[in-house]
Structure 1
Amino acid sequence: MSEPVWTPDPRAVAASPMQRFIEAHGFESYEQLHAWSVNEPEAFWGRLWDAMGIVGERGDRTLERGDTMRSTRFFPDALLNVAENILWGDGASDDQPMILETDERGGPVRSITRGEARAAVAQIAAALRADGVERGDVVAAWMPNTAATMLAMLGATAIGATFTSTSSDFGVDGVLDRFQQVAPKVLIAADGYSYGGKRVDCLERLEQIRAGLPTLRRTIVVSVLGVEAPEELTPWADWLAPHEGAAPHFEALPFDHPWYV
Structure 2
Amino acid sequence: MWNWLITSLGVGATIILFDGNPFHPNPGALWKLAQEEKMTIFGTSAGYITAIQNAELKPGKEYDLTPLNAVLSTGSPLSVENFEYIYREVKQDLQLASISGGSDINGCFALGNPMGPVYAGELQCRGLGLKVEAFDENGKSIINRQGELVCTAPSPSMPIYFWDDPNNEKYLSAYFDVYPNVWRHGDFIEINDRGGVIIYGRSDATLKPGGVRIGTAEIYRQIEQL
TM-score by length of 2: 0.33
Is the radius of gyration larger for structure 1 or structure 2?
1
Higher relative contact order (CA 8 A, sep 6+): 1
TM-score by length of 1: 0.29
